[in-house]
Structure 1
Amino acid sequence: MSKDTRFSHRIATEADAPAIVALMKASIAENMKGFLTAEEIAAAQETMGLDTTLLEDGTYFVIETEQGGATVMAGCGGWGKRKTLYGGNHTKGRDDSYSNPAKDAARIRAMYTHPDWTRRGVGSLLIELGENAAREAGFKTIELGSTVPGEPLYRARGYEEVSRETQVAANGHVNTIILMRKAL
């Protein structure tokens, strides 16, 4: 691929959900391999997936580019104005109440890059879009729940670790969630 790849972005819609889920599955299956074992990837999948409140709130982005004359989805991700830190619709412990920008942090949420488009700035673009939108909504701080594979990107973008949580998944393997924070 050319260094000159151009990406566009738009707000995701409910009609995008099947393509988003397919991109998430491809991203999880391939992009985590260099960091986690197959069993740890399966454990992580228990908390990963589509959170439709992000679509409903209009805070989820699709990153697209042209490939072979067709528009393809290169990545997806966004920000949350609700208290849920991470996970999909199925994730236990959700709190879908709205955050108060005066005292709560916004959230960077559900970031995925298609394996064909890694290391081309898709993740950084998603973070920038989410941070800018959260800032415009009045938030002063932003947080995220990172996987181990996502941690290097977030550190490079100025996020600092607050804490680590480990959960034992149904398969008996550990899933690590890293709470990270950044001032806006």
Structure 2
Amino acid sequence: MPQGLTIRPATVDDLGALHETAERAVFKLLSEHYSAEQLNAARDAEIYKVERELVESGRYYAVEVDGMVVGGSGWSDGGEFGPAGHVESGVRADASTATMRATYIDPDWSRQGLATLLAHVTETIARNAGFRVFEAMCTPASEAFRAAMGYHLVERVPTRFAGGVELVGARMRKVC
């Protein structure tokens, strides 16, 4: 585990670092699962951009190492897997389900337990808010991660972007 580790609610001032972290993570860690065309279509649709509203709600957390933001994760209620106005898969979770959202770790800091730590933080906070069911829309890389945390596959979900480009994600669920 790194030294100087802090997990805290993200602020609007963190958005630039969080967006950069998300883009590095997506393009490095998902390039073996998705084509460049798919990754670029997702970027153009801002599908992995950390949304301001999630940060402003106090439900998005930044992880810092020695004062540098190296990752983030959040959760929402009301069944939302993503922000309004983004390309939709047409899938919503039940309103009594907390959806785990936008977990990204800088590739230079991957495989050090930070994503697991953030997932535990977001689940604990959602549990303290009264939620007992958690869902996440997962990429191939995060599907194995969530399965190791006790999530199971609900369904495969295609998301279509402009030009007919499609990504398939895994809707995962955990009941506590």
TM (norm. structure 1) is: 0.83
**Post-superposition CA distance 1:29-67 (Å, at most 9, x none):** 21112322222222333322122221121010000112x
Superposed, which structure 2 residues align to 1:61-76 within 5 Å?
61-66=61-66, 71-76=67-72
Tell me the equivalent position of 1:121. 113
Instruction: Give the alignment's Cα RMSD to 1 decimal.
Output: 2.1
Judging changes above 3 Å, is the alpha-carbon distance between structure 1 residues 4 and 14 closer, same or farther for their aligned structure 2 residues?
A: closer
**Quick one: percent identity of the two aligned structures?**
27
Tell me the equivalent position of 1:164. 156
**Number of residue pairs aligned between Structure 1 and Structure 2:** 171
Tell me the equivalent position of 2:53. 53
Judging changes above 3 Å, is the alpha-carbon distance between structure 1 residues 171 and 30 closer, same or farther for their aligned structure 2 residues?
A: farther
Deviation at 1:22, TM superposition (A): 1.3
Deviation at 1:181, TM superposition (A): 0.5
How many angstroms apart in 1 are the aligned matches of 2:34 and 2:87? 22
1:164/1:179 contact within 8 Å kept: yes
Unaligned runs of 5+ in 1: none
How many angstroms apart in 1 are the aligned matches of 2:71 and 2:57? 19
Unaligned runs of 5+ in 2: none
How many angstroms apart in 2 are the aligned matches of 1:38 and 1:18? 23
1:51/1:89 contact within 8 Å kept: no
Residue 78 (1) aligns with residue 70 (2): no
1:148 to 120, 130, 140: 140
TM (norm. structure 2) is: 0.87
Greater per-residue helix proportion: 2
Residue 25 (1) aligns with residue 17 (2): no
